[in-house]
């Protein structure tokens, strides 16, 4: 069992509706030492990749992405913003994202100034569930003409379809913990075996 799986078992709480609450260390209060370990592990898993930028989505991905960037030569971190209005000007790449946790649709935007066809991008996020957030980010990278070098996720819920969907596209997807099943009644969490 790796460091993140151990932490999830210690401090994670399984909620009804397939929600894993990890807000005491990952996406509300943030354990920076844990983020450091995550950064090290992503650097190991994406070793040899030519990455010059990290892309994430607000809000929970930002803190993780910033620490991960320290392990990739301090490359810039860009985060997609959730836009309130549909009136975005032509200076933005845009995509629609369905929110798993809030069950609403957000338009996400990135300024054209900060992504281009020269970029070799590592996408970072806290969770992968249905893959909507990642698909939005990939759509934005496609608009920019950039290259997706890989995707690094803290926690993938393997019983939801996002992971399979992304791997079928032939993209290197690395999830530090993959939850195979979880049970809100017992609090039991089972992880997928990883190499
Ligand atoms: P997806 O777009 O893959 O369906 O969901 C990814 C996003 O939903 C993540 O960025 C994360 O913020 C949120 N999310 C999905 N599942 C969970 C969960 O079980 N717990 C928490 N805390 N957030 C989740």
Asked if residues 153 and 130 have their Cβ atoms less than 8 Å apart, the reply is no
For residue 13, the CA-to-ligand 1 centroid distance in Å is: 14
What is the CB neighbour count within 10 angstroms for residue 96? 13
Give me ligand 1 centre to Cα 101, in Å.
6
Atom of ligand 1 nearest to the CA of 21: 22
- Return the ligand 1 atom nearest residue 135 CA: 2
If you measure from the C-alpha of residue 178 to the centroid of ligand 1, how many angstroms do you get, rounded to a whole number? 13
Q: CB under 6 Å to ligand 1: residues?
A: 19-22, 27, 60, 100-101, 125-133, 157, 162
Residue 93 Cα, ligand 1 centroid: separation in angstroms? 22
Dist. CA 92–CA 4, nearest whole Å: 35
Atom of ligand 1 nearest to the CA of 22: 22
Cα(75)–Cα(55) distance, integer angstroms? 10
Whole-structure pTM value: 0.97
What does each C-alpha distance from 131 to 10, 47, 97, 106, 153 come to in angstroms? 26, 24, 10, 14, 11
Q: What is the pLDDT along the chain (195 residues), one digit of tens a residue?
A: 999 999 999 999 999 999 999 999 999 999 999 999 999 999 999 999 999 999 999 999 999 999 999 999 999 999 999 987 666 678 999 999 988 777 888 899 999 999 999 999 999 999 999 999 999 999 999 999 999 999 999 999 999 999 999 999 999 999 999 999 999 999 999 999 997
């Amino acid at each position: 069992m790796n460091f993140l799986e151990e932490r999830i078992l210690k401090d994670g709480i399984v909620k009804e509706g397939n929600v894993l609450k990890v807000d005491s260390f990952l996406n509300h209060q943030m354990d920076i030492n844990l983020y450091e370990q995550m950064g090290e592990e992503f650097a190991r898993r994406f070793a040899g990749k030519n990455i010059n930028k990290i892309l994430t989505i607000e809000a929970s991905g930002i803190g993780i992405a910033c620490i991960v960037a320290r392990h990739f030569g301090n490359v810039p971190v860009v985060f997609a913003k959730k836009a309130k209005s549909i009136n975005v000007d032509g200076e933005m790449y845009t995509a629609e994202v369905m929110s798993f946790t809030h069950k609403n649709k957000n338009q996400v935007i990135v300024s054209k100034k900060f992504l281009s066809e020269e970029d070799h991008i590592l996408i970072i996020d806290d969770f992968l569930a249905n893959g909507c957030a990642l698909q939005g980010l990939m759509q934005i990278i496609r608009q920019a003409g950039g290259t997706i070098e890989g995707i690094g996720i803290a926690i993938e819920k393997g019983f939801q379809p996002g992971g399979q969907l992304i791997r079928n596209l032939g993209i290197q997807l690395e999830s530090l913990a993959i939850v195979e099943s979880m049970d809100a009644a017992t609090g039991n969490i089972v992880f997928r075996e990883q190499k």
